[in-house]
Amino acid sequence: MHELIIIGGGITGQTAAIYAARKRMDFVLIAKELGGQFLESGDVLNYPGIVKTTGAEFSIIMEEQLKFNGITPIEGEEVRNIKKIDGGFRAHCARRSHDGKTLIIATGARARKIGVPGEDRLARKGVTYCSICDGPLFAGKNIAIIGGGNSALEGVNFTKDIAKKIYLITIEKQFRAHEYLIEGVELLKNVEVIHEATTIEILGEDRVSGLRYEKEGRVQELSVEGIIIEIGRTPNTEFVQGFLELIPQGHIRIDCWTRTSIEGVFAAGDCASGQEYQYVIAAGQGCMALIKASRYLANLKGETAG
């Protein structure tokens, strides 16, 4: 039985693994796919200490740091469920199971897609899913933000002084957002709201050049250089449903110490409650979870010795 099992190969899980290696812990890092959101990101301009990089370059740096610390992740393994066993927990995967005295779950979240032609082909080529992460890439440009909830309106608020013109496209007749966000959007002169509109295609060859939407039976076209899809994210927590307490949105409920509803199980990053979908926050929570898991193990040893 390992001291620790870390589930998730994004920045959260990798940070926890680096700290675990530095503490000389007996642990295993299980990753369905190493890299997490790095694989979806374009330019990264807001991580402290790194002036400018890309998601792909950042992922390479992290992998080098894993190697430097002697960490060999178990890649291509997906944890299907977790069971409590005597003395710890068992993570069941397709090929085998892994036992650990404590767990850190860092499986992240995936962006919800609109599922139209051009979306996947132009991902990271003008199509993005995070206003805060990628809004600065569209300085002085015309952009479209798709969505009608809090995340979409927060995206408008963040990019209002960055983009030249913002088209806010929502399928709803009315916004599903906090009133103060709605009032703020309505006052912005460089924002055009298009209600009851369904995006049907994203246009462009090598880069985004526009989009088509349907409204009241008519297909219309907009010329934009960036499209930010803000219709929410889905946490990768299906495998712990019924095992851990989740909040209504599906994230794992944690306290400020990253503890979950079961003692000895910690969660961090985008899969956990309080998420903000930022690399720096995810990394910090990964560190926090590792420290708390280490202290949990130390307490277990103290109880055993006593």
100 and 246 both lie in a single domain: yes
103 and 238 both lie in a single domain: yes
- The CATH number of the domain holding residue 177 is 3.50.50.60
119 and 204 both lie in a single domain: yes
Domains identified in the chain, total number: 2
Query: What count of other Cβ atoms lies within 10 Å of the Cβ of residue 91?
Result: 23
222 and 249 both lie in a single domain: no
User: Known catalytic residues?
Assistant: 130, 133-134
Residue 302 has pLDDT above 90, yes or no: no
Write out pLDDT tens, residues 5-50. Answer: 999 999 999 999 999 999 999 999 999 989 887 876 667 888 999 9
92 and 147 both lie in a single domain: no
- Tell me the residue range of the domain where 155 lies: 113-229
124 and 185 both lie in a single domain: yes
Distance (Å, whole) CA 268 – CA 86:
24
Region 176-196 average pLDDT: 92
Write out pLDDT tens, residues 247-275. Answer: 999 999 999 999 999 999 999 999 999 88
36 and 123 both lie in a single domain: no
Residue 199 has pLDDT above 60, yes or no: yes
CB within 8 Å of 101: residues ≥ 6 apart: 1, 2, 3, 4, 87, 88, 89, 264, 297, 300
6 and 87 both lie in a single domain: yes
Query: Where among 187, 202, 229 does a domain terminate?
Result: 229
Write out pLDDT tens, residues 107-145. Answer: 999 888 999 999 999 998 999 998 887 899 999 999 999
Q: What percent of the chain has pLDDT over 70?
A: 98
220 and 265 both lie in a single domain: no
Query: Where among 206, 229, 252 does a domain terminate?
Result: 229
240 and 222 both lie in a single domain: no
269 and 239 both lie in a single domain: yes
Query: Where among 209, 229, 249 does a domain terminate?
Result: 229
98 and 35 both lie in a single domain: yes
Distance (Å, whole) CA 152 – CA 165:
15
